[in-house]
Structures are given as structure tokens and as C-alpha cells.
Amino acid sequence: MSYPDDAKLSRRDFLKYAAGAAGAMSVPAVLGACAAPQPPSAPAVATPTPKPQQTLRVLALNWPQTQFEQKLADEVFTPKTGIKVVIDQTPYTFLEQRVKQLVSSESAEYDIYHYDSQWIGGFIAAGALERLDTPGYLNSSSSEISFDDFFPEIVYRLAKYPTNEADLTAGNFDAFADTPIYGLPWSLNCQVLWYRTDLISTPPDTWDEVREMAKSLTTDDMYGFAWEGSRLGDYISVDYCPLMWSHGGELWNPEARKAEGFINSPQSVHALQFMRDMVYEDKSVDPASANWTISERLEAILQGRTAMALNWVPLFGGIADDPNASGVVGKIGFAPSPAGIDPVTGEKRRHAMYGSQGTGINAFSSNKEAAWKYLQWLLSRDTQKALVDEPGAGFVSARHDLREYAAGKSPWQRIFLESIPDVRDFWNNSCYAELLDVLQRELNLAYVNRKTPQEALDDAAVAHQVIYDTCSDI
């Protein structure tokens, strides 16, 4: 009788088994590819003519407005111009990487890229975006749109590069009169305070009031406030930054290219301590929020598990009153991002986190003329008004001539427009991703109690200084 106790395989047998095992392992990959989420299909086109002669491809974020943009393009732009528009939607987490990969290969696959405000420096350094303040585009006598059509507080951060936050926050837009333009506004957003109108009659004006109110509103079934504390993307940073700026903190000193004494200033440390104390001292914030992104926080609001939270408008404004998505329809109010009191000077400041996206023409596109036609149509008054009119699109136009119109449409559109003077953004240079990753890591470590706020921000200062000293674009 044979027992293969010590038997080993011949190479032929090994390959035979290995091929079978590899086949088994490939099953999830194949099924995964089959099950990969597809962008929503375009709505049926009602207008039959003319037959599209050209196809324009847009790489977009999967924001609520995108499907309505596709619908409008199919119903209005394509019949008018004969140019078919295909908008590919990508989740926020992956869009930046995808564009960078396309740019590095000088790809002409897409004619138009949507981008977040922080990415502009890196994209321009890579030569990804066509300059638009040139005779072929905005400076053409036949251009149907002008850069002056849009309000500068929002659009300068998206379209011009290089800029600086100090002048933009001070409203000194003349400083950028000759700064090149690379994009146009696509989706405008900032974080404001969402609160439950059935529980709060007057929304809190300052962060100290938020904290007190959150404590009193916390019950067994509901927390008073919600942060998003995830280490992924920019989630914890976009909640921390407006809190920190409002308390008088800064991320850095751009003139001196210095982190020490700014990112770890007493005001910055105070803000991070404040954030953490709401979780562990007051217990008015769910500790689970240490891994929450935009989705979990929105879910907490819509399921009635938190009384207040910062959240994006107009992006999610329409969802608050959608009975298919929300369990608190008619109970959500919107107030400006709370003000902070500087613990050192006693000064009161209010800042809202900026989070808008722009759109630009791929510098390697072979359809630049058609792309420019599309952008002129997209930014025209009629198209922008149609998007404002669609509550599900979560949209506010950057056009001056639609400002009053949008403000009268809904509370969330109005609060965004009121918050414009308060918006601030973080870095937008080509090294922003490294700076942000360090900040995310350190803030998250403090949030989960692995470091004190002082330790976390001291470590961030050291790591940031290395980047400031070595990044050629800063």
C-alpha cells in the first residue's frame, strides 16, 4: 500500500495544480469586474436630429448634478450642435489618481476634466489643463461667456493659479488680475451647520454654543453633534480646518514657508482639543466617527442619529428633503458655519470650509473646439438656471445674474450664498497631497486618542516643514 507521506510534486504536476488554483482565484476578479458599478445610464433622448458627428468625453465626479448635466446635454446640447456628450462618473476617492494617470501618459481619452480646487496646482504643473485666458477661449470676441460673469470669491480659487489664501480671504482679487485662468466653475460647495429644527429653535452662532447645545441634546438614541474623523481622503481635515481657522489657528505661514508655530500654535492645538473633547469628555459625538467619511456622517444626519453636524451645501441640500433618502424630511435647517473665539486674543472669527470643483479642457484633447463649445453652453445662463431649478442636482450657479434667483429657491441654496465671504481652502500647490496626508494621519491619531493634540500637531509641523523645504512649487 502506498502512502504519499513524503511525496513531492513533479514540476508538471505542480503547474497543473497551480493552474487550477489560479483559475479558482481569478473568479472574484472576473465577477468583480462584471459587478463593477456603472454610471447611471443617460436618460432617453427625445430629440431625434441631427445625428451626432462628434463625441465629447467628460471625466466627472459622481456628484448629484452629474446625471442632470448628462440629461440636459442629451436634450439640449447634442441636438443643437451635433456633438454627443459622454460623461463618465468616478467616485471622489479615485478621480484625482485617474486624471493624474491620464495626464502622465498625455492621454486624449477625455476632452474635459472636472477637478477639485486643491488639485489645480498639480494639474497645471503637469500641463493637464488648457489655459483659457487666451484668444481661442475667453479672450475671443465670439466667446459667449466672460470670466467676469462669475463671482470671484469662489471662482478665483478654482480657475486661477497661482493664488494665495491671504489675498483671497481678504477679498483682494486685484492681486490676481494677470494670473492665468485654467478652468471654470462646475460645482460650488462649502460646509455649513445642519441642525434639527424640531429640536433647536435658534441655531448656535459660535462653536462654544455648539458644544453646550450638543451636550444637552445627546440622548441614548442620538448624539448632539457629528464629526467625520476618517483618515481617508480629506475627511477629518475638512471638519478640523474651519474650526481651527475660526479659533485663530493657521496651517502655515506661506510667506516664510514655515509650519512651526502655525500648525501647532496654541489656537490650533485648542481647536483639536475642542474636537476631541466633544467625543471623549462631553460624549456628545459618536466615537465611531473616527472612521466616518462623508457617507456615514450624511447617514447619521438623515437617520436622525445626530442633532447637528457640519455638512456640504448645496451638494447634499436636496437630499435632506427627499423622502426616499431621509428620515427627517422637513426637520433639517441650515445655519452658517459657527464662529470661534480666539483663545489667545479673544477675537471672534467665522470660517467655512470651501469645497468647490472646477472644469477645464484637457491640454492633450483633440476636440478642444468642441470642448470649449460645451463649456460655454454649460456655463450659459439658461443651462445654469436649469440646473438650479432641479432640487436633486444640489446646485448653485457661480453666475452673478443667477445669485438672487438661486437664493430664493431653497434655504440650502441661500445659506451657501450667504456663506461665500467666510469660505477658506487649504493648500492647492503641487505638494498638497503629501501635506494633506500628513495632516490626516496626525489629526486621526489625536482623534482616536493615540497622541495628544499637541504631540500630533508638533509631529505634523516637523513633517510639513520637510515638505515645504523640498517642494519646488512652494
Partner 1 sequence: MFPWLLFAPTVIYLVILTIFPLIYSLGVSLFQVTLGRPATFIGLSNYREILIDPAFWHAAAVTGVITIAAVTLEVVLGVVIGLILNRQLPGLGLVRLIVYFPMMLSPLVMGYFWRFMLDRSLGVVNWMLRVVGIHPLGWLIEARLALVSIIMVDVWQWTPFVILLVMAGLQTVPPELYEISTLDRASTWMQFRRITLPFLRTPLMLAVLFRTIDTLKLFDTVFIMTGGGPGDFTQTLSVMDFKIGFTYFNVGKAAALSWLIVVIITVLATLLIQKLTVRPGSRVTSA
Residue 344 interacts with partner 1 (CB under 8 A)?
Answer: no
Residue 135 interacts with partner 1 (CB under 8 A)?
Answer: no
Alpha helices in 262-402 (DSSP H): 266-280, 294-302, 317-320, 368-378, 381-389
**Sheet containing 306-313, strands listed edge to edge, beginning at the edge strand earlier in sequence:** 223-226, 306-313, 190-196, 332-335
Eight-class DSSP state of 333? E
Task: Quickly list DSSP for 213-224.
Answer: HHHHH--SS-EE
Distance CA 181, CA 160 (A): 5
User: Which CB atom, from 132 or from 279, has the smaller least distance to partner 1?
Assistant: 279
- Candidates 281, 322, 345, 450; binder of partner 1 (CB under 8 A) is 450
Residues 6+ apart with CB under 8 A from 273: 453
What is the grid cell recorded at 363?
491640454
- Candidates 56, 85, 102, 103; binder of partner 1 (CB under 8 A) is 103
Binding mask 259-288 vs partner 1 (x if CB under 8 A, - otherwise)?
---------------------------xxx
Q: How far is CA 431 from CA 120, 255, 458, 470, in A?
A: 11, 16, 20, 10
Closest separation between CB of residue 12 and partner 1, Å? 9
- Candidates 437, 454, 455, 458; binder of partner 1 (CB under 8 A) is 437
User: Is the four-CA dihedral 155, 156, 157, 158 of positive or negative sign?
Assistant: positive
Task: Give the length of the chain.
Answer: 474
Closest separation between CB of residue 462 and partner 1, Å? 13
What is the grid cell recorded at 325?
433618502
What is the grid cell recorded at 195?
441642525
- Candidates 57, 60, 67, 96; binder of partner 1 (CB under 8 A) is 96
Peptide bond into 43 cis (omega under 30): no
- Candidates 66, 416, 444, 453; binder of partner 1 (CB under 8 A) is 444
Closest separation between CB of residue 61 and partner 1, Å? 17
Closest separation between CB of residue 77 and partner 1, Å? 32
Residue 208 interacts with partner 1 (CB under 8 A)?
Answer: no
Specify the stretch interacting with partner 1 by CB under 8 A; choose among 54-62, 130-138, 145-153, 225-233.
225-233
One-letter amino acid at 390 equals E
Distance CA 144, CA 137 (A): 10
Binding mask 13-42 vs partner 1 (x if CB under 8 A, - otherwise)?
xx--xx-xxx-xx-xxx-xxx-xx------
- With CB under 8 A, what is the number of residues at the site for partner 1? 65
Closest separation between CB of residue 231 and partner 1, Å? 3
What is the grid cell recorded at 115?
477637478
User: Which CB atom, from 400 or from 450, has the smaller least distance to partner 1?
Assistant: 450
Closest separation between CB of residue 105 and partner 1, Å? 11
User: Is the four-CA dihedral 87, 88, 92, 97 of positive or negative sign?
Assistant: negative
Chain residues that interact with partner 1, rule: CB under 8 A: 1-11, 13-14, 17-18, 20-22, 24-25, 27-29, 31-33, 35-36, 96-97, 100-101, 103-104, 122, 125-127, 230-233, 286-288, 290-292, 296, 299-300, 303, 305, 430, 433-434, 437, 441-442, 444-445, 447-448, 450, 472
